[in-house]
Chains A and B, each alone.
Chain A
Amino acid sequence: MAAPEFELPKFREYPTVPALREGAMAHSKPYVANEKIQEAIGFQAKLDDDWRVTHDKVIAKFGELLGKYRSLKVFMDACVHCGSCTDKCHYFIGSQDPKNMPVARQELMRSIYRRYFTWPGKLFPQLVGARDLTKEILDEWYSYFWQCSECRRCSVFCPYGIDTAEVTMAARHILDSVGYGQKYSNEIIGKVFKIGNNLGLPGPALEDTLAGLEEDVKEDTGVAVRYPIDEPGAEVLLVTPSADFFAEPHIESLIGYGKVFHAAGISWTLSSHASEAGNFGLFNGSYETMRKVALRIREAALELGVKRIVVGECGHAWRVAYAFWNTLNGVGAGGKDPFSIELQKQLDPRYPQPSHICEVTWDLIQQGRLKFDKEANDHRIITFHDSCNVARASRMGGYAGGQFDIPRNIIKAVANKFVEMDEDTVREKTFCCGGGGGVLTDELLELRVKGAFPRMEALKRVVDAHGVNFMATICAICKAQFTKVLPYYGFNMRLVGGVHQLVSTAIRLGQEQ
């Protein structure tokens, strides 16, 4: 690892609110998407040469979104600047830039809202903090709305439930629509449209990878565990983040999912058409993009005739699957229209649709259908990092908060040594890994390292006190981000891994064949 070109935040004995450093992150800016990337996913190719044209388009789009999203409308009006959110954002804590305080990030947009959509802002702009939209302000949007990971931590503490993620999504949607898109996210969405997954892995490559995986597992365990793809008639369609197919430590969890299905005797398949659980449409805030990505899962499910749809370890994917799929592609229950009925009559109503892989595994454990050698994980002292979209934007199991208990229950069922991090950094108060929401790109490394700081502090405390050597998580982005940033804080990059990696280590597969 080369020495960083920026100052690392220092671990604090007693975490207190840091002093402000204005403009500390003003230089942070992801690469702008080129014309080809923009056009491939249906956005304007580039900014108009005439600023006045862009200006009018921004205001028009803003007005359109205010009419389409109650969240945006209420959140623009309701904030009283109470400051409850000001010290809650991991990017603020790590960077000290005041514009990374959630309320200040919102104000970048709210100041424009007031100027163009409220009469006090039209009459007395200075008084109410309203501003004319300029190119500089649009650049500021581009910088700071790409310093938000849409993790919703601020929304937990807001007395009006204002969720900066909604504001960020609206801002990014507007930026996309005027030709000011972000290269990383939009390139990825283009790959999903064209090939079916974020990494652009075509079907044959996936088949090769999975065949290799079957050989590895056979060699490792002596058992012929299958990793099937595109098999019609399977009971379960597993949709998982494409990082699971090749990245470390992600692939260890994929191995684990296969072992769970094998041990329980459930037939399952992956799909080359829907080979991606992730949905970067969420990050861009474009309903249409998100819907288009989600429709691939519907198409695959109908084609393969599966009875259940299960989602692998991925935070934002689980948010989209759990909370939005029923709306976007009809995977769910309770639909009364032909579009959703067509799919829902095919799905088995005895299971939640979609189910999280952790729900499946925990359900099987409770039924006694999985057996473990817990000692196999004894070399690990484990803690659990709640991923933001799972914690604050979704659920598992039949009750509120199941998303916290089920992964922990699984860990405790498959391993003996488990330690919690500080209570202010777990469950619904969990800190983002620093790489979520579409910022997992190398040119934003400084942001990512600084954003990881609060989590690294909490981790450091359990590493020092309990010798923790494994931080389990159920998110592909968390895994990739931590692998990259752990070394900056003096930790081994292999300290992070998946919950099903632990399952994989301890599970009994039955007879050797």
Chain B
Amino acid sequence: MSMTIFFAVLFYLAAAVFTLGLIYKIYDFARTPAPLSIPTTPAPTTTPGVIWRMFREVVFFESLFKGNLWTWLFGWMFHMGLFLVLIRHLRYFVAEAPVWLLFIQPFGKYASFMMMGGLIGLWGRRFFVERIRYISTPSDHLWLALLLVIGVTGMGMTFWMHVDVVAVKAFFLGLMVFEINALPAHMGLFLHLLGVAVLMLLFPFSKLLHAPGVFFSPTRNMADNPREQRHLAPWAANFEKS
């Protein structure tokens, strides 16, 4: 029961830090002006064009594809795998899983292999490619280690040392209405949850900010229309008042 309380507190804290931290960061990105029109060209000239460019960037990693095929392959495998796995996990947070969520379960299950393959590939590059080794910091390795721990424990529980998922679901549904239901005592589960909580706690202060950051990147989210529209930041407009 003490572990249950520990994780209950931890997840309240992690959820708060993650949400508030991310909201603050997004607010901070959004309030900072882009004083000049700086899309990397050729760039779309209209807003729908920009949305399409951003879609390709976020879903297909278009620029990375142009930049490095191996990194693209591993990066895309990891992120798409993670995406499916995360969707699958929604079932822990809704009492009655809708049909599409049930349908997606096996995909999410096997997507974990793709995710782990991508992770291992990405980590391998940090050791074996001289340039990437040079630019890697200890935290780059630790992030990959953390994700690997989360992934391995998750897959372990799915395919090998099963855990009482009904109880896990009851724990999380309980948290959402401020009730504490016992977590199954399972080392794999504890490690898995600890890893996820650490990730959530650090997310708003780390390079994981690339996730919201990409949407605010002026070289990608600005339309190429500077001759047609005057673009003036508030602080820059002050020069014209004197």
Chain A residues with CB under 8 Å of chain B are 17, 19-20, 66-71, 73-75, 77-88, 98, 101, 103-104, 107, 118-120, 126-129, 152, 155-163, 166, 287-288, 291, 322-324, 326-327, 330, 332-337, 339-340, 352-354, 391-395, 399-401, 403-404, 428
Contacts and interface: CB of A to CB of B under 8 A. Distances in A.
A166 B38 contact: yes
Interface of B is mostly: helix
Count chain B CB atoms within 10 A of each CB in A75, A98, A118, A332 and give the residue with the most.
Answer: A332
A2 to B, nearest CB: 34
B41 A400 contact: yes
A208 to B, nearest CB: 35
A163 B205 contact: no
Contacts of B158: none
A290 to B, nearest CB: 9
A77 B25 CA distance: 10
A395 B207 contact: no
Nearest to A295: B239
Interface in B83-109: none
Interface in B32-49: 32-38, 40-45, 49
A162 B227 contact: no
Contacts of A161: 40, 57, 63, 214, 217-220
Nearest to A427: B42
B214 A324 contact: no
Interface string B181-222: 000000000000000000000100111011001101111100
A20 B131 CA distance: 7
B206 A120 contact: yes
Contacts of A118: 205
Count chain A CB atoms within 10 A of each CB in B41, B44, B49, B129 and give the residue with the most.
Answer: B41
A157 B233 CA distance: 28
The 5 closest A-B pairs by CB, nearest first: A157-B67, A78-B213, A84-B67, A161-B219, A400-B42
A352 B227 contact: yes
Contacts of B135: 81, 83, 86, 98, 101, 103-104, 107
B230 A157 contact: no
A80 B34 CA distance: 22
Contacts of B131: 17, 20, 83, 86-87, 98, 101
Interface string B18-41: 000000010011001111111011
A150 to B, nearest CB: 11
B223 to A, nearest CB: 10
Contact of A78 (B33, B207, B227, B235): B207
A163 B210 contact: no
Contacts of A82: 64, 68, 71, 75
B13 interface: no
Given A84-B68, A104-B135, A159 B61 contact: yes
Given A20-B130, A326-B226, A156 B138 contact: no
Contacts of A71: 34, 38, 217-219
B236 A287 contact: yes
Nearest to A106: B135
B32 A403 contact: no
Contact of B34 (A69, A86, A119, A326): A69
B213 A88 contact: no
B140 interface: yes
A323 B226 contact: yes
A93 to B, nearest CB: 12
Contact of A327 (B32, B44, B207, B226): B226
A333 B227 CA distance: 6
Given A332-B227, A333-B228, A428-B42, A85 B32 contact: no
B227 to A, nearest CB: 5
Contacts of A335: 230
Contact of B228 (A67, A129, A334, A404): A334
Nearest to A393: B41
Contacts of B132: 81, 83, 86
B20 to A, nearest CB: 14
Given A83-B71, A87-B131, A394-B41, A326 B63 contact: no
Given A330-B230, A393-B40, A403-B41, A81 B137 contact: yes
Contacts of B137: 81, 127-129
B230 A332 contact: yes
Contacts of A157: 63-64, 66-68
B221 to A, nearest CB: 8
B232 interface: yes
Contact of B33 (A70, A80, A159, A333): A70
Contact of B213 (A77, A120, A155, A354): A77
A74 B213 contact: yes
B155 to A, nearest CB: 23
A453 to B, nearest CB: 17
B231 A326 contact: yes
Contacts of A20: 130-131, 134
Contacts of B206: 120, 128
A89 B125 CA distance: 20
B231 to A, nearest CB: 5
B232 A327 contact: yes
Contacts of A352: 227
B218 A74 contact: yes
A412 to B, nearest CB: 20
A119 B40 contact: no
A126 B138 contact: yes
A345 B71 CA distance: 51
A404 B42 CA distance: 9
